[in-house]
């Protein structure tokens, strides 16, 4: 029997798309992105659709680079399909893992809009003692150092106050002011998304809801930034950041 948004034939879905049923991504964010046009004309932009069917951080052949702050690891989850688990590996504050996809870069520029969304959750954080980053950052093996975001060029979410409060920030050459995002709930998936309108503004989306706009041109980085993740302990807990895929698209 047909159900919401699609028809079936022999038990198979045959309709084009229903955002409530077909995707883990947010229709409110992606409805302005020309993904359908891109299917017929890939020259209009570049798409990174990471579904984590594998993970390779080998020094010469891998897409990812893992850097330890004393401890930390990253591996495909054995309990949830298509998920990368980044384990801090420690209960000591500031120790953990820094992971970057160093072969996929995006560069904010006038008219070259960017859409991005990450599906993530944290476990092992009963007291939410985690120091974390999710988003795009310049290449940096210490995105979080001494309980502070130390990279000078980035767009993303971070928490370094050991209370699970996420902030959203765009920073250019060290200049930027974080804004409110959301508070983490242990073992609960959240979709973190943003839209960069060239170099004139950024919209933030939490679970598909537009939660704020802003950021001056002076705070939007105009250098290469890469998918980046940090999971470090805030002390007491051994947090694990699970990344259940992400999608980034930029106009050429």
160-208 pLDDT tens trace: 998 889 999 999 999 998 999 999 999 999 999 999 999 999 999 999 9
* 3-state SS class at 212: strand
CATH 3.40.640.10 fits 17-251, yes or no: no
Residues with Cβ within 8 Å of 118's Cβ and at least 6 positions away in sequence, in order, are: 134, 135, 191, 192, 193, 243, 246
The residue whose two tokens read 């920030």 is: 169
Q: Which two tokens stand for residue 122?
A: 């944290």
Q: Which two tokens stand for residue 225?
A: 């930034």
So what's the pLDDT on residue 216?
82
Domain boundaries, the chain: 17-251
- pLDDT tens-digit readout, 86-122: 999 999 999 999 999 999 999 999 999 999 999 999 9
Q: Please state the pTM of the whole predicted model.
A: 0.90
| Residue 139, phi then psi, degrees to nearest 5 | -65, 125
């Amino acid at each position: 029997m047909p159900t919401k948004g699609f028809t079936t034939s022999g038990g198979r879905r045959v309709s084009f798309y229903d955002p409530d049923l077909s995707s883990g991504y947010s229709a409110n964010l992606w409805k302005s992105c020309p993904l359908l046009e891109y299917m017929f004309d890939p020259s209009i932009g570049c798409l990174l659709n990471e579904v984590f069917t594998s993970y390779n951080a080998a020094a010469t052949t891998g897409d990812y680079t893992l850097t330890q702050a004393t401890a930390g690891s990253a591996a495909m989850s054995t309990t949830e399909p298509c998920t990368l688990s980044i384990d801090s590996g420690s209960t000591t504050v500031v120790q953990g893992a820094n992971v970057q996809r160093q072969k996929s870069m995006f560069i904010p520029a006038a008219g070259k809009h960017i859409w991005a969304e990450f599906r993530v959750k944290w476990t092992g954080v009963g007291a939410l003692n985690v120091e974390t980053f999710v988003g795009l950052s310049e290449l940096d093996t210490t995105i979080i150092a001494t309980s502070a975001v130390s990279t000078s060029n980035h767009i993303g979410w971070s928490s370094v106050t050991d209370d699970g409060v996420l902030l959203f920030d765009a920073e250019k050459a060290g200049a930027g002011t974080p804004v409110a995002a959301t508070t983490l709930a242990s073992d609960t998936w959240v979709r973190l998304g943003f839209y960069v309108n060239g170099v004139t503004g950024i919209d933030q989306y939490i679970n598909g809801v537009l939660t704020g706009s802003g950021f001056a041109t002076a705070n939007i980085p105009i250098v290469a930034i890469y998918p980046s993740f940090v999971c470090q302990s805030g002390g007491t807990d051994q947090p694990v950041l699970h990344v259940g895929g992400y999608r980034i698209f930029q106009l050429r």
